[in-house]
Every structure is written in structure tokens, then in C-alpha cells.
Amino acid sequence: MAQTDIRPRIGIVCGSGLGGLANLLKDQVVFNYRDIPNFPQSTVHGHAGRLVFGTLKGRPCVCMQGRFHLYEGYPIQKVSRKMPSMLYHQRHLILTNAAGGLNQDFKVGDIMIMKDHINMPGFAGNNPLSGPNDERFGTRFPCMSDAYDRELQQLAMEVGQELGYGDFLREGVYCVLSGPSFETIAECRMLHRLGADAVGMSTVHEVIVARHCGMRVFALSLITNQAVMDYDSEEKANHEEVLQTGKQRSEQLERLVSTLVTRIEHNNIYA
């Protein structure tokens, strides 16, 4: 922080292939993760591994161009609790991810506003808040029924409609698995029955920590591929398709996020 005058009010985390968001920032001050002491490294294609400070349409922001995933081998506390600590000092956190569509009404390229999550690793005791609680950050037992800020969801929906995104803007429930293997057909069918609209490998642990710190959270999933749910299907989930869809939709997703950022300030949603 000593190396930049920018004091961000909004933190942004970029999902797979969605790092272009960080390039929108003006007056950039960039730190490569490899140059930050004790910082993990991004090991996944589509995650550049840079912390970018700058202004988005005049609003001071900090952007993680590259996140850490459980499957990269980092302990869950390191992935989510200690490392993006710069982001957790902000009032708002905006997260993006790539996800497989489970909802049969969803199409590849849809943008899903996350209204809730299912934390599968959490069911197995893998929660980022496990371990001693530091009361300076938040309570031992944080509420998660209000994890995704309803005012921000509403605002994003309005922004999306104004931008003409109505045909591909959705809302739904994201289910996180630890990865890195993609899901089996039986797993996808089960997750769908459980109420998940999309499946991915990130975001939820970051959301839990952000809510623990009292941040207001907004998250978007880009449906980069249809989860395979049919034994007759020839489709095979793969990371190349994920990145390709990210490239195709990046411009709209970036416009949605940057307009949302200006509206957060304009509507003075800082309480």
C-alpha cells in the first residue's frame, strides 16, 4: 500500500479468462504476485497473477487478476483468508467466475448473477473460517443467508437491462466443488436436483471470508459450458472451452461490472 496513493473502495476478483476487467483500470499500479512476499502464485492458464490498483471510470479499485483455487494445493485459509487481505479492507467485493451450466434453461454465454451458493467442500469440513476466530475481523458464526447483497443484485439487473443484456442475464445458485476434475454426469444430475444452477471451483470461500469481514458482496458467473447431464452426450468439459467463452463474452461482462461500479458510487451504496 505504501507504493500507491490509490485507496480503493471496491475490490474485484477476476475469474478464469475474465482478467480483461483489470485492464480497464486507469492509472495502474501493478504488483506481480511473485514480487509480493508470502503471496501464492497463480498456476492456472487464464489467471495472470497480478494485483492491479487503479481507477475504473474514476472510482478507485483494486483488482486480483488471477485467483487461487483449492485444487492448486494451497490450504483453504491461505487461498481465501490471508492472501487477498488487501481486498477485504474494501467496502464492496465484486467477484467473477467461469461456471458450468446445470439449469437447462441456461445457454453458454449467459451471465448469472449469484443469488446464493452451495458450499460442497464446507459440508466436508473445509471452511475458510475453520480454526481460531479473530474477533477483530468478525464473529465466530457469521450469517450466510444474506451473503449476496440484494440491493447490488437488483442494481446489476437494472444495469443489465439498460445495457440490453436481458436475453442472457440470469440469476441463480452456484455450487462450488474443489476440482480440478470436472464433474461426472451423475454428480451434475445430483447438483441440479439439489437446486444448483451452475457449478464451479471457486468464489464461495472468498465470499465467506468477505462476509465475515462485513463486506457487501456481489458475484457473477459466466456460463462457459453446459454441464454434461446426459449419457448419450458427446460433450466433454474442458478448460479451453471455458477460456474461449470468456473471450467471447468479456466485453459485455466488463461493461456490466464497470457500469455497476459507477452506479454503486452514484447511488451512494456505502452503508
Residues in binding site for phosphate: 16, 47, 67-69, 98, 202
Cβ proximity to ligand LQZ7MJT6, 69 vs 216, nearer residue:
69
The three cell numbers locating residue 154: 437488483
Closest residue by beta carbon to ligand HPA: 100
Closest approach of ligand LQZ7MJT6 to the CB of residue 186, in Å? 19
The stretch among 54-62, 96-104, 129-137, 153-161 that binds ligand HPA (CB under 6 A) is 96-104
Sign of CA dihedral 2, 5, 9, 10: negative
Q: Which residues contact 212 (CB under 8 A, 6 or more apart)?
A: 129, 137, 138, 139, 142
Quick check: 212 and 137 in contact, CB under 8 A?
yes
Cβ proximity to ligand LQZ7MJT6, 60 vs 72, nearer residue:
72
**By rule CB under 6 A, what string of x and - marks binding of each residue 237-256 to ligand LQZ7MJT6?**
--x--x--------------
Which positions make up the binding site for a purine D-ribonucleoside?
183, 225
Position 224 contacts ligand HPA (CB under 6 A)? yes
Position 102 contacts ligand LQZ7MJT6 (CB under 6 A)? no
Q: Which of 12, 83, 87, 99 binds ligand HPA (CB under 6 A)?
A: 99
Position 237 contacts ligand HPA (CB under 6 A)? yes
Rg of the chain in Å (alpha carbons):
17
Position 201 contacts ligand HPA (CB under 6 A)? yes
Quick check: 218 and 148 in contact, CB under 8 A?
yes
Quick check: 224 and 110 in contact, CB under 8 A?
no
> Closest Cα to residue 61, out of 131, 13, 114, 124?
13
Position 97 contacts ligand LQZ7MJT6 (CB under 6 A)? yes
DSSP H/E element including 136: none
